[in-house]
Amino acid sequence: GAVVSQHPSRVICKSGTSVKIECRSLDFQATTMFWYRQFPKQSLMLMATSNEGSKATYEQGVEKDKFLINHASLTLSTLTVTSAHPEDSSFYICSARAWGGSQGETQYFGPGTRLLVL
Amino acid sequence: TQLLEQSPQFLSIQEGENLTVYCNSSSVFSSLQWYRQEPGEGPVLLVTVVTGGEVKKLKRLTFQFGDARKDSSLHITAAQPGDTGLYLCAGARAAGNKLTFGGGTRVLVKP
């Protein structure tokens, strides 16, 4: 299957700083990538849809100025958590959409980034 | 209320037993995917189903998509401890749409 990477895998930062998370599709091009947030023992919550070359589409309740998304190329999307606070601590996961013939579309997920804000 | 309801939320069984996880909705999906996620990792795709009534097998795992494309099930035969994890179903209402995730089913297989 297709491979999606995330970097960093784990980050600890001080309150008030900004953190950038990268999501890369390694062996395919993705015009659309997605950013999710996952709290312990819960399912994934979609934050935003990242579209290559255009503005991201944010889900209701997600602050676009807080979570900056840039999708500058067909293989890279970045999520920047600005002025991070302890409540932003979470597991952030990206996915990239791929198209596979009879299977239609499939989302492949990155390994996730654990963010801890002190 | 979630668009996709998964049941049960948690399942604890002994090694060798069978289990079934259900994913139900009142909405029709153009495709539905099943993922397994282990702690601290991203979800790993198990299967994609697109045709109503479709049945797919992956070793001891059997996936079924309902005839009306509103529901799906995952059946594991002779479960092993390595099957332990969070199982997630996710559906797209139409091609190109974002995925809607179910609440997840946490499976624990005891040796």
User: What's the pLDDT at B93?
Assistant: 86
Q: Are strands A90-99 and A32-38 parallel, antiparallel or unpaired?
A: antiparallel
* Option in B31, B42, B103 nearest A104 (CB): B31
CA distances from A94 to A60, B22, B49 (A): 18, 25, 22
User: A59 forms bridges with which residues in the sheet?
Assistant: none
Q: Tell me: the pLDDT tens digits for B13-57? A: 999 999 999 999 999 999 899 999 999 999 999 999 999 999 999
Residue A14: half-sphere exposure toward Cβ, Cα within 13 Å: 2
> Looking at residue A60, what DSSP letter applies?
T
Q: How far is CA A75 from the centre of its chain?
A: 13
pLDDT one digit per residue (tens) for chain A, 118 residues:
689 999 999 999 999 999 999 999 998 888 899 999 999 888 999 999 998 888 999 999 999 999 999 998 999 999 999 999 999 999 999 999 887 655 567 889 999 999 999 9
Contacts A93 to B, Cβ<8 Å: 42-43
User: What's the pLDDT at B2?
Assistant: 60
Q: Tell me: the pLDDT tens digits for B46-90? A: 999 999 999 999 999 999 999 999 999 999 999 999 999 999 999
Phi/psi-derived region of residue A62, left when phi > 0, alpha when psi is between -120 and 50, beta in every other case? beta
Helix H or strand E encompassing A115? strand A113-117
C-alpha span between A35 and A44 (Å, rounded): 10
User: What's the pLDDT at A102?
Assistant: 55
Structure tokens at A34: 């997605």
Helix H or strand E encompassing A25? strand A19-25
* Option in A6, A46, A104 nearest B98 (CB): A46
User: What's the pLDDT at A100?
Assistant: 62
Contacts A112 to B, Cβ<8 Å: 40-42
Nearest CA-CA partner of A69 in A4, A1, A21 = A21
CB distance B98–A103 less than 8 Å?
Answer: no
